[in-house]
Amino acid sequence: MAIAARISALAAPLGRHLRPSAEAMRAGLELGRDESPLHLDWIVGAMAFLAALAMVGALATADAAAAWRHGLTGTITVEIPAALRAPAGTPGSPAAPADDRLRRVMDVLHGERAVERAAPVPRARIDELLAPWLGTGDLIDTLPVPQLVDVTLAPGGREELAGLKQRIAAAVPGVNVDDHEIWVGQLVHLAHLAVGLALAVVGLVAACAVAATVIATRAGLAIHHEAIDLLHLMGAEDEYIADQFASQALRRGLRGGIIGLLLAAVALVAFGSASQAVDPKLLPRLWPALDQILPLLLVPLATATLGWATARRTVLHALKKMV
């Protein structure tokens, strides 16, 4: 009788916290809408927005690095300076004509088994590559631009690269052979740092989302403290009460993740439209390929799962202290 009287006394002022319908009673009492002043949906949405942008940045950087590395692997560039002079102490100080130097370099390349293809880069193509930095006009035409030869190595040809460099240097002293190894290594290192930084940002964002969920859940526990006491008196287990808060956090996490993903998509589209005026060769492709969109679509699922697990663990931990 004492327990029944207490239940009646607690249930009377809790109409706004409980669903009094017969269907809800059959399914078990369910906590009502949270009255916490924290807008968890928008907090999680902001976190999801930052996480999506960090993931896109990581994917774009890795994709650009892979494309550059693939394009440079197995290739070398032979650079014939425009004003080539013989080294000190070398007989014949006058420089050989440019066409003659190019012909001798091509003769060496065509006689090498390690070389699959060798072709001089046209001056128009070199001017096109320099145009973003030097512009177009008479200035670029007066510059002593070196003659470049694009060389594709045969499979296994990189093992004979040292000998090839020596033979080219013997044929035309002063010629530079660039195998791109240093530049590619620095690029890959930079890409790894960028991906690591993006993953660190995602981890920090997830930690902030967890903290916000914990605060919101604890606020909900304080608001519904009397309702929770009533549920305990009616025989509800801690897992049931935790599931109520976890389900609510799951819905809010899902809504926040979708909101953040949509905002990130709008930001990327806007940035992509603004970058149309810039040479696409200078900027990495920020919108991921179709096979890379799946991780972004998992952002709402991740926020929902993280919210569910965090809220449930928080409630169970708090209820154990209440016992």
Query: Per-residue pLDDT for 168 more than 90?
Result: no
pLDDT in tens, 87-116: 444 443 345 566 788 888 888 888 888 888
Name the residue among 124, 183, 178 with its Cα closest to residue 153. Answer: 178
pLDDT in tens, 188-245: 888 888 888 988 999 999 999 999 999 988 988 888 888 888 877 877 788 888 888 8
Length of the chain: 323
On whether the CB atoms of residues 2 and 215 are closer than 8 A, the answer is no
* Sheet bearing 115-120, strands edge to edge: 115-120, 147-153, 75-80, 176-178
Decide: residue 309, CB within 10 A, 0-12 exposed, 13-18 middle, 19+ buried.
middle
Partnered with residue 150 across adjacent β-strands are 77, 119
Q: Report the alpha-carbon distance of residue 48 to residue 298 in Å, rounded.
A: 11
143-164: average pLDDT: 82
Q: Report the alpha-carbon distance of residue 214 to residue 223 in Å, rounded.
A: 14
Domain locations in the chain as residue ranges: 17-69+184-322, 82-174
Query: Per-residue pLDDT for 23 more than 60?
Result: no
